[in-house]
Amino acid sequence: MKKVFAIIYILFLTLNSRSQSLLTPFEVFQGKRTSTYSDCIKFYELIDKKYSSILIKQFNTTDAGYPLHLVLFSADNHFNIDVWHKNKVVILINNGIHPGEPDGIDASMMLVRDLATGKIDAPKNVVLGFIAVYNIGGTLNRNNYSRVNQQGPESYGFRGNAQNLDLNRDFTKNDSRNARTFATIFHYLKPHIFIDNHVSDGADFQHTMTLLSSQHNKLGEVGGSFLHNTFEPGL
């Protein structure tokens, strides 16, 4: 079985480099595999080369020593952030903070490709930024058995980053270079909406998507009532 996968994978790499077809490992292996770090970056670089609606920017650095890749999508091919803020909604999407929950990495690759190729039309007033892989050190540290409660993928990254820090606990204390570079990206883009893609550690929910909010009655008068009466019903 492993041999068959190896052959399919070599075929996938060959196809991707020769005909520059833009399939993700997730699609090629029918949802059983998630992209490696290097495949993910190569995929985005290929799209960046082919489509002028895509621009990749690199921000140094992370604890693994690699920069963060920010993949920008703008349907009108303009990438001036100050102009965006006059008439666009800027959405920032983060992926792979916990690399064992890699769905967002793969989903973003497919979404960026489908936006670039025109398969999906984004609303005219929306621009998007994707952090391709946030926890690079953890993503490089792949294994098969640290999440036995999850239904796949076959292999995936480890939760801790290159310093073994949980990046989902580091946005305030900023012990990691990842978090400090994230802050640079956040202040560069000043997004109106920020989405951090996680999945649910194998818990067997009935629904496809779960919405968890902070307790509104602990957020104070203004924030709490906005969350409870406006934001949540709107979502």
Residues near Zn ion (CB under 5 A) are: 98, 101, 198
165: left (phi over 0), alpha (psi -120 to 50) or beta: beta
154 within 8 A of 32, measured Cβ to Cβ: yes
Strands 68-73 and 54-59: antiparallel
The distance of closest approach from Cβ of residue 198 to Zn ion in the complex, given in angstroms and rounded to an integer, is 4
The distance of closest approach from Cβ of residue 11 to Zn ion in the complex, given in angstroms and rounded to an integer, is 33
The smaller minimum CB distance to Zn ion, of residues 101 and 106, is found at 101
125 within 8 A of 162, measured Cβ to Cβ: no
The smaller minimum CB distance to Zn ion, of residues 180 and 198, is found at 198
The smaller minimum CB distance to Zn ion, of residues 102 and 191, is found at 102
The smaller minimum CB distance to Zn ion, of residues 114 and 166, is found at 166
The distance of closest approach from Cβ of residue 179 to Zn ion in the complex, given in angstroms and rounded to an integer, is 15
Residues 13, 18, 20: CA angle, nearest 5 degrees? 85
DSSP assignment of 147-162 equals TTTS---SSB--SS-T
The smaller minimum CB distance to Zn ion, of residues 74 and 157, is found at 157
The distance of closest approach from Cβ of residue 63 to Zn ion in the complex, given in angstroms and rounded to an integer, is 18
Q: How far is CA 183 from the centre of its chain?
A: 16
Q: How far is CA 220 from the centre of its chain?
A: 31
**How buried is residue 204: exposed, middle or buried, by Cβ count under 10 Å (0-12/13-18/19+)?**
exposed
The smaller minimum CB distance to Zn ion, of residues 101 and 170, is found at 101
Tokens of 207: 């629904």
The distance of closest approach from Cβ of residue 202 to Zn ion in the complex, given in angstroms and rounded to an integer, is 11
The distance of closest approach from Cβ of residue 16 to Zn ion in the complex, given in angstroms and rounded to an integer, is 29
C-alpha separations of 106 from 89, 113, 134, 165 in Å: 23, 11, 13, 23
